Amino acid sequence: MEIYLDNSATTKPYQEVIDKVVYALNTDYANPSSIHRKGIEVEKNIKLIRQNISRSIGAKDKEIYFTSGGTESNNTIIRGVVSIHKKRKNHIISTTIEHPSVLNTLKDLEDDGCEVTYLKVDEHGRINLDELKEAIKPTTCLITIMHVNNEVGVVQPIQEIGKYLKSLSEKIYLHVDAVQSYSKINFKPSRYNIDFMSVSGHKFHGPKGIGFMYIKENNRLKPMLTGGGQEIGIRSGTENTPGVYGLGEAVKIINENLDKTIEKIAKLKNLLKDEIIKNIEGIKVNSSDDGVCHILNISFSGIKGEVLLHYLEQRGLYVSTGSACSSKKKGSHVLNEMKLTKDEIEGAIRFSLSDLNTEEEILETVKIVKESVTDLRSIIGRK
C-alpha cells in the first residue's frame, strides 16, 4: 500500500488533468496566436479556461494571467510592483516565514537598495496586526504576505490586513502568496481587498509548471518577461497550452464541490491529529487548531525527522520534514521563527493531505508512524 501525505510539496494530478494535457499535446497543439482555424480553436479554449478560473475566485477574466506557477508569480508581482514605485516608495513589508521564492526575491531587492521590514511571528506562526500597522511608513509601497504557510499551515489575517489598508488614505498594495490556500480556503480576493495574488497548479492536482496571477483591474506592474506580448503584455512567451488545459481541468474539478472537499480534508487531518495524540507519546503538534485544512506538522521527541521520513518511506508512507524546497537544507526557518527547541525542529514531520486520501489511509498512517517511532526510540535507547 502506498500512502501519499506530501501534498503541500505537490499533488498527484487527477486522471482528467492528464487526459486534458495529452489532448492538448496530441490535438490542440496549434499556437493560440495563430490566426488559422486550429489556432483560433486553442485560443477559444484558453479563453474558456480563464473564465472558469476567474469565476472560481469571483474575479474578472482580464484579472487572470497564466504563469509557470508560484515562484514566477511571486517574482513577477513583487519585482514588477516595486519597480514601478521604488523611486518614491521603496519600503516593503513581509514576514520572516515566507516561502523562499518571496524571501530570496526580497533579499535581491534589498541588495538593489530597497528597504524590507520582516514581521515576526508568534509560537503558532501568526503575525501581529498591530506590528504590521506600526511597520507602515510613508515610503511603504507593498505588503507581501502568504495566506497559508506551507510548513505548518498557519492562516494569516489577510482579510483584516486588506480592510485596514483600504482605510488608509495612501495606497499600499497587498500581494498574497495563495499557493497553499487556493482550493483549501474558499475566499474571494476582491472581498479581501487583495491587489495581487499568486497561485500554483500542481498544489491542487494540476500539472507542474503552470499557475496564475490575479492582478486587480487597473493595478500596474512592470513585466519581468518581454517578448511577443502574450497575456496582455504582462507575461510574454507562447502559452503553455498543455499546462493551461490541465490547470483548467483541475480548477473545474476542485471547485465542483469546494466546501465539501475542504470539509473532507479537514476531517481527515483532525482524525490524523487526534489518533497521533492518543497513540504516540512524546509529540508536539506544531500546527494550530485553526490552521488550514490540509497541513499537520508534528515533532517527535528524540527522533530526527529525516530518519523517521526514510523509515516511513520503507513502508510506503510518504511525508516531508518541512517544505520540499527547504527539506534538503539544514533546519526549518519557519519552526525556528516559531521558537521551537532544537529537538523539536529536528524531530518535525509535515503530513499534508489531499481530497484523494481516505480514512483507511489515515488509520494505517497512525499505525505505521507509531510502530516506526517506537522502533527508532528503542534503537536509540529511549522508551
Ligand X SMILES: Cc1ncc(COP(=O)(O)O)c(C=O)c1O
Catalytic positions, written as ranges: 325
383 class by beta-carbon count within 10 Å (0-12 exposed, 13-18 middle, 19+ buried):
exposed
Residue 101 or 357 with smaller CB distance to ligand X: 101
Query: With respect to ligand X, which residue has the nearer C-beta, 76 or 365?
Result: 76
Segment holding 289, helix H or strand E: none
Q: Report, in Å, the least distance between residue 302 CB and ligand X.
A: 29
Q: What is the DSSP letter of 3?
A: E
Among 102, 114, 104, 110, smallest CA distance to 78 is for 102
- Examine residue 366 and tell whether it contacts ligand X (CB under 6 A): no
> CB of 180: closest distance to ligand X in angstroms?
5
Question: Which of 111, 119, 54 is CA-nearest to residue 82?
Answer: 111
Q: Which stretch binds ligand X (CB under 6 A): 68-76, 222-230, 270-278, 360-368?
A: 68-76
Cα–Cα distances in Å, from 372 out to 261, 310, 323?
30, 10, 22
CB of 175 to ligand X, least distance (A): 12
Does residue 177 touch ligand X according to CB under 6 A?
Answer: yes
Label residues 325-339 b or e (16+ Cβ within 10 Å = b).
Answer: ebbeeeebbbbebbe
How far apart, in whole angstroms, are the C-alpha atoms of residue 80 and residue 101? 14
90 makes contact with ligand X (CB under 6 A): no
- Cα torsion at 217, 60, 92, 230 (round to 10°)? -80
> With CB under 6 A as the contact rule, which of the stretches 40-48, 177-185, 276-284, 296-304 interacts with ligand X?
177-185
99 binds ligand X (CB under 6 A): yes
Residue 296 has, within 13 A of its CA and on its CB side, a CA count of: 27
User: Does position 291 bind ligand X by CB under 6 A?
Assistant: no
Residue 11 vs 101, nearer CB to ligand X = 101
| Contact predicate 173/195, CB 8 Å | yes
Give the shortest CB-211-to-ligand X separation in angstroms.
5
Lateral strand order in the sheet of 140-146: 64-67, 211-215, 196-200, 173-177, 140-146, 91-95, 115-119
Q: Would you give the distance in Å from CA 220 to the centre of its chain?
A: 23
CB of 102 to ligand X, least distance (A): 7
Q: Pull the grid cell for residue 296.
A: 499537520
What's the closest the beta carbon of residue 94 comes to ligand X, in angstroms?
Answer: 13
Binding ligand X (rule: CB under 6 A), the pick from 45, 101, 240, 321 is: 101
Nearer to ligand X (CB atom), residue 95 or residue 372: 95
Shorter beta-carbon distance to ligand X: residue 90 or 183? 183
| Binding to ligand X, residues 13-32 (CB under 6 A) | none
Q: CA-to-CA distance for 199 and 104, rounded, in angstroms?
A: 18
Pairing assessment for the beta strands 348-352 and 295-300 based on DSSP bridges:
antiparallel
Site for ligand X (CB under 6 A): which residue of 106, 174, 179, 293?
A: 179
Binder among 54, 180, 332, 352 for ligand X (CB under 6 A)? 180
Contact 290, 155 (CB under 8 A): yes
- Residue 78 binding ligand X, by CB under 6 A: no
Residue 154 or 312: the one with the smaller Cβ distance to ligand X is 154
Q: Could you say whether residue 69 binds ligand X (CB under 6 A)? A: yes
Comparison of 153 and 369: residue with beta carbon closer to ligand X = 153
Under the binding rule (CB under 6 A), the answer on residue 150 touching ligand X is: yes
Stretch that binds ligand X, among 25-33, 176-184, 215-223, 261-269 (CB under 6 A): 176-184
Per rule CB under 6 A, is residue 125 in the interface with ligand X?
no
Instruction: State which of residues 127, 146, 319, 366 lies at the interface with ligand X (CB under 6 A).
Output: 146
Among 7, 53, 64, 70, binds ligand X (CB under 6 A): 70
Q: What is the DSSP letter of 185?
A: B
CA 326 to chain centre: 14
Point out which residues bind ligand X (CB under 6 A). Answer: 69-71, 74, 99, 101, 146, 150, 177, 179-180, 200, 211, 323, 325
